[in-house]
Chain A
Amino acid sequence: MKLYAGLAILGGMAALALLAPGLMGHDPFLPDLFNRYAAPSAAHWLGTDDLGRDVLLRLLHGARVSLAVGLGAALMALLVGGLAGLLAAWAGGVTDAVIMRLADALLALPALPLLVVLSALDPAMIGLPRGEAGADILRIATILAAFGWVGVARLARSAALSVLAADFCRAARALGVSEFRLLWRHVLPQLVTPLAVATALAVGGAILAESALSFLGLGIAPPAASWGNMLANAQEAVFVAPLVALWPGLAILLAVAGCSLVADGLRR
């Protein structure tokens, strides 16, 4: 039930984000300076922002960016964290200790100040393209995954440890199955559920973190819309048009709650 509710929320948002901008007549990037902070009307369902751009349309464009960052970061975290967790559980000993101490250290540190440092880096200095919106999304997703893998790795490790100790794994080993095949055919399929839970949580976490970074002006750069930078814009105008700040936050709330519901539902 929770799973379907969460999937419906996320699916609905994704579908709207992909379809709606084409259906509506406005340009989300074109300023209309005679129409700033317009109240909600038939033409602009949620009103307009500080440059007279349609808020609903920018929300939907922001949904593309925020969901893409969330999904991208979570997939990278899944790949890195899943491999790290599996490796730690399988190898044990020093490898396990090194990986898990690193994870503990990352978990014990305040993430946001570190994210601020990482996002202030010059992407060109580490060989990434700079400036384009697509590159921005990739950059933020990578930075968030640098922290997001920890949660996935911990879940993957604890699940893999219990699977590796199970009788069917010992039986497979006794039959002389190669270690790679053991992990691939016998352990990994058992990890699908915990990994899916961890990924769903990582998507939600990444959406929240992206909004915080964009809010600080270090995430997705304008004029591209993201829920975080829309909030940052709206915050400056709370005395003029308080309602503009309401919608991006609600969108984040809905998306992250959707991810939590999916994770909760999968856990059962």
Chain B
Amino acid sequence: MRLSARLVQILVTAAALSFVFYMLLGLMPGDPIDLAIMADPRLTAEDAARLRALHGLDQPLLGRYLAWAAAVLRGDFGFSRLFAQPVAALLWPALLSTLVLLGWAVGLAACLGVGLGVLAALRPRLSPAVQGLALLAQAMPGFWLGIMLIILFAVWLGWLPAGGAAEEGQGDWRFLLLPVATLGFGQMAAYARHAAAAMQGALGEPWIRSARARGASEMQVAFGHALPNAAVPLLVLLGLDAGALVSGAVITETLFARPGMGKLIFDAIMGNDYNLALLALLVVAVVTMLGSLAADLAQRGLDPRLR
């Protein structure tokens, strides 16, 4: 499929999702005015009714959605109720923080995982260990691993902070280390298992035999011939995993109290902050779909047959 068609597909999906999310948010208990009533005992029933009318909350859900969509098309994403700021301004720092976490975790997991997988394919004696590690990592809740890491490195050893984000003048890496390890470990084990399988498949191909017959060294065979071919199925996996990765980032951020998209979405939903929740959910969905798209494009770059 052409790139433009894929982008259009993503846009259409995002538009459909915005409708679904809006309806679902409408099904949540209470509305922002209910929370305002709880927060301010002097608010009377008339005030509440006036506020509801002012913010259009007395309108039917469908009408509210259309009004929201029209405003968004004009570039107006609305204000956040919780933070009293334009929603778009809140989103960027959170998105950046999440992308940094995701980038490090995926990068490290891919390097280490592929390395382990290649090792397992070249040295079959190590293969059961990699398989066992993968089974373990896939059965383990990521956030539990995070808690265990906190206990080890923050409580017992005291080397790293248990959570939070770097303040002005502090190095960010100390706050990143444990979340990246938490998020990356499960991915790493999955990559290792799939890389081992893909490498074993590639090493059995006839062109590997002919490369050996030409006198290529084992290093050349493994990294020059087998790995580039094994990388294509790995990228498929990476693209399919984009959703799981983002989910993992959400829970990792909550565990480590990192101010990213996960925490933003969670707070917005709990605080009936419709505008913020809606846009944050949409951005997360679009980022995930763009991640899958990037993996697809990388596949095509690697494998001329797919073009």
Chain A contacts to B: CB under 8 angstroms: 105, 107-114, 116-118, 120-122, 125-126, 204, 208, 211-212, 215-216, 228, 231, 234-235, 238-239, 242, 245-246, 248-249, 252-254, 256-257, 259-261
Q: Let me know if A257 and B136 touch, CB within 8 A.
A: yes
Q: Let me know if A204 and B251 touch, CB within 8 A.
A: no
Q: Let me know if B265 and A116 touch, CB within 8 A.
A: yes
Q: Let me know if B269 and A117 touch, CB within 8 A.
A: yes
Contacts of B110 in A (CB 8 A): none
Interface residues of B in 87-109 (CB under 8 A from A): none
Is B141 interfacial (CB-CB < 8 Å)? Answer: yes
Which secondary structure characterizes the binding site on chain B? Answer: helix
Contacts of B250 in A (CB 8 A): 110, 112-113, 116
Q: Let me know if A110 and B247 touch, CB within 8 A.
A: yes
Q: How far is the CB of B46 from chain A (nearest CB, A)?
A: 26
Contacts of B25 in A (CB 8 A): 117
Residue of chain B at shortest CB distance from A254: B139
The answer for the CA separation of A242 and B145 in the assembled complex, in Å, is 13
Q: Let me know if B288 and A257 touch, CB within 8 A.
A: no
Q: Let me know if B140 and A249 touch, CB within 8 A.
A: yes
Which secondary structure characterizes the binding site on chain A? Answer: helix
One of B150-158, B170-178, B230-238 at the interface: B150-158
Q: Let me know if A113 and B155 touch, CB within 8 A.
A: no
Is B143 interfacial (CB-CB < 8 Å)? Answer: yes
The answer for the CA separation of A212 and B266 in the assembled complex, in Å, is 13
Residue of chain A at shortest CB distance from B24: A117
Partner pick for A108 among B138, B144, B243, B255, CB 8 A cutoff: B243
Chain B interface bracket (under 10, 10 to 19, 20 to 34, 35 or more): 35 or more
Residue of chain B at shortest CB distance from A119: B269
Q: Let me know if A107 and B240 touch, CB within 8 A.
A: yes
Partner pick for B265 among A113, A121, A212, A249, CB 8 A cutoff: A113
Interface residues of B in 233-272 (CB under 8 A from A): 240, 242-248, 250-251, 254-255, 262, 265-266, 269-270
Contacts of B145 in A (CB 8 A): 249
A-B contact pairs, 30 of them (CB 8 A): A107-B240, A108-B242, A108-B289, A109-B289, A110-B242, A110-B244, A110-B245, A113-B247, A113-B281, A116-B266, A117-B281, A120-B269, A122-B27, A204-B139, A211-B141, A215-B251, A216-B266, A231-B143, A231-B147, A235-B147, A238-B151, A238-B154, A242-B151, A242-B156, A245-B144, A245-B151, A248-B144, A249-B148, A252-B144, A256-B140
Q: Let me know if B251 and A216 touch, CB within 8 A.
A: yes
Q: Let me know if B244 and A111 touch, CB within 8 A.
A: yes
Q: Let me know if B255 and A235 touch, CB within 8 A.
A: yes
Contacts of A239 in B (CB 8 A): 155, 162
Residue of chain A at shortest CB distance from B151: A242
Q: How far is the CB of B19 from chain A (nearest CB, A)?
A: 13
The answer for the CA separation of A208 and B248 in the assembled complex, in Å, is 12
The answer for the CA separation of A117 and B265 in the assembled complex, in Å, is 9
Contacts of B243 in A (CB 8 A): 107-111
Contacts of A242 in B (CB 8 A): 151, 155-156
For the A-B complex with A117-B25, A117-B269, A248-B144 known, give 8 more contacts whose Cβ atoms are closer than 8 Å.
Answer: A108-B292, A114-B281, A116-B265, A122-B28, A238-B154, A245-B144, A249-B141, A256-B140
Contacts of B130 in A (CB 8 A): none
The answer for the CA separation of A173 and B253 in the assembled complex, in Å, is 56
Contacts of A116 in B (CB 8 A): 250, 265-266, 269
Contacts of B13 in A (CB 8 A): 105
Quick one: which of A113, A204, A246 has the most chain B CB within 10 A?
A113
Partner pick for B24 among A118, A231, A235, CB 8 A cutoff: A118
Q: How far is the CB of A47 from chain B (nearest CB, A)?
A: 15
Quick one: which of B138, B141, B266 has the most chain A CB within 10 A?
B141
Contacts of A208 in B (CB 8 A): 139, 141
Residue of chain B at shortest CB distance from A211: B141
Is B284 interfacial (CB-CB < 8 Å)? Answer: yes
Contacts of A108 in B (CB 8 A): 242-243, 288-289, 292
Residue of chain B at shortest CB distance from A110: B246
Q: Let me know if A120 and B270 touch, CB within 8 A.
A: yes
Residue of chain B at shortest CB distance from A239: B155
Write out, one digit per residue, whether chain B residues 284-298 have a CB within 8 A of any chain A CB (1) or not (0). 110011001000000
